[in-house]
Chain A
């Protein structure tokens, strides 16, 4: 972590404040908790990344937007075996036929998970989650006691495999409250390197763990492999205090905490009129 970061630090930086209240014509007025806002913020995280492994749900939408805006050359990889997808329509899932037609390669799942993922080719793993905790452990399995869970969630799928090997992990959460961001997850499906390191004597996987969490209130980042999530940005209209109060631990706030730039009108138009025309993800 940076030396000047502090818990509950100052408000948004001067540069960001100066832009507030002077809306630019190109800026879209969608609320920060909307799928349009979250997908745009998520897509921007992919600028400059070469190879992205997109998970189920909102990530599928965000990578589509990234490919049309900030990163036309991004190589999209899916656990179904698709490498270098060029979909002609929005994928309604990671096994959609539109991801296969016109793709650069269709690999076996052994080649995809074994060679591409464990082999270290994935720059960013892009996942959804029910819970992410202080050091970036992910729960996608159960809420409550796993022997008789209150809610049975989808489970790992490829998530714990991706966590072990991707250079960065970006998580998108649809809610920001102490249940979604607890100090410790109810169940650790996909472990942070912090937790992996505690298992002494084990061959440590190369994955960096969760580096970024995008929520309806802001953006949390982990400064290094063994650090904890810190508040790096708040969305327009959200205060630092609000983000901190809705987090399940004493959230450290970066000294340079910024305000998230709003989506452009063009981002929202692409999402609504060209990408998710059936409103599958834009609920």
Chain B
């Protein structure tokens, strides 16, 4: 066990996220690191290259706030909730400025993190044969299989300057446990030069070590640990609170009107000192509506050698 890496979100973002960096904020519909993204907005970072498989509302907000100039992603909508209008305005009308995008399929994007984590020059996959995506994105290339199976498409490694993820829990040294949908968090963390983990709860090392299979990102890959309860809102944390689907629907009309989106950023992000302030503004009643009933996993025994 290494020393404590516990810090505040303000300090973690100030220390690790700088203008012009390539930043991955991962979480596939689940455990989206909204609190950390909002802190990037508060600290007015600029010219970031944002990496996210599913850009989501979080990317729309970072774009509105002027933090992002480039987007590396594999899906440009908000799931069933609909369009992300700031992304669409930037891409379709170059309003207020064009947005540079680099586009993959989900597995292509995942393979980029995998290659990055494993320090491989590229990673092959079965997708893209016959697709226009390689013409759109010249970084999707092909190689001849040295084993005589024909050409296969490959994607290059993605090595973010910093990866930020949210999880249910970690210990102070950064052993991070998450469950439910685990997305690209582990490869995105191992691919990065620096890793910030925000968690619902910082727990004692014994809690982690009682269930080591659940640790997906060990302490050796983590640089900063921040306790941020509710840090995934309006997305969810399995077993802790559910997705605020009402907010997802509310964002569609907000993002359709750029002035309304800017006003939202001013009121909810710049107008609150930190995520605790944001949650207080959200109100206890709304939060109570997101609570879930317990459904414990049961437990397994790892056993120990008898004396």
Tell me the A residues contacting B by CB distance below 8 Å.
Answer: 56-57, 60, 79-82, 92-97, 100-102, 106, 108-110, 113-114, 117-118, 137, 141, 146, 148-161, 164-165, 187-193, 195-199, 201-205, 280-281
Contact = CB atoms under 8 A, between A and B. Distances in A.
A154 to B, nearest CB: 4
A155 B74 contact: yes
Contact of B75 (A108, A109, A157, A165): A157
B92 interface: yes
A151 B92 contact: yes
Contacts of B152: 202-203
Interface in B103-120: 103-108, 110, 114
Interface string B80-114: 11000001100110100000000111111010001
A152 B184 contact: no
Nearest to B104: A156
B33 to A, nearest CB: 15
21 contacts: A57-B80, A93-B81, A94-B29, A95-B29, A95-B181, A97-B236, A97-B242, A109-B184, A110-B110, A110-B114, A146-B136, A151-B92, A160-B127, A161-B108, A164-B128, A164-B129, A188-B130, A189-B131, A190-B131, A199-B129, A203-B126
B240 to A, nearest CB: 10
Contacts of A150: 92
B130 A97 contact: no
Contact of B129 (A82, A108, A196, A280): A196
Given A100-B238, A155-B103, 20 more contacts: A56-B80, A81-B182, A81-B183, A92-B80, A92-B243, A96-B243, A97-B236, A108-B186, A141-B136, A148-B94, A150-B92, A157-B106, A164-B126, A188-B130, A188-B132, A191-B131, A193-B130, A199-B129, A201-B151, A202-B151
Mostly, the A contact residues are loop
Contacts of B81: 93
B125 interface: yes
B180 interface: yes
B92 A189 contact: no
